[in-house]
Amino acid sequence: MKRHHLISSLMAAVFALTSVATQAQTEVATSRLPQEETKASPAPLHLVNDEYQVWLDIDLDDQTITVPDQEIFGAINGYIGAKRDPRKWLVTAVEKIDDHNARLEIINDYGSEDLLAMLTLLQDGSYQLRQLEGSPLRIVVKSKWLKLPKVLPLKLLTKEAASPQ
């Protein structure tokens, strides 16, 4: 009888230890899983310049934007488009410098020209795209190349105010 009691006690201890070990393994494994983000990522931005009739669609956090009629490129950070020119400039990389500045790597849709630019959120809520180095941003207007200014002012256009480009 004592022997039966001893075996039962040992088995209970083994089950208890196994349970504790399993719970600890589960907690360790769960802690390694990616945690849900509590902070929502900002939506992609639609920035426009009315004078030059150009826009910048950009997601500063992820590659979520597909260039219309150029889906072959897949999802990228963004692109610059123009009402008067079907060509696009593709934002292939974004490096956030701080809450107000991001460095952008941009190439044309042929891959023959590229540049680095800084996108800055200004105090009044508008943005500016400043070309730092590389090829100049240019579009075709009336069959002629038009260089965009090195510092291009942009304003945020809300979804409600946006018209199809």
> Tell me: the pLDDT tens digits for 50-108?
999 999 999 999 999 999 999 999 999 999 999 999 999 999 999 999 999 999 999 99
H/E stretch holding 22: helix 2-32
The two structure tokens encoding residue 60: 């500063």
The per-residue pLDDT for 43 is 83
CA distance 10 to 24: 21
Q: Between β-strands 127-134 and 138-141, what pairing exists: parallel, antiparallel or unpaired?
A: unpaired
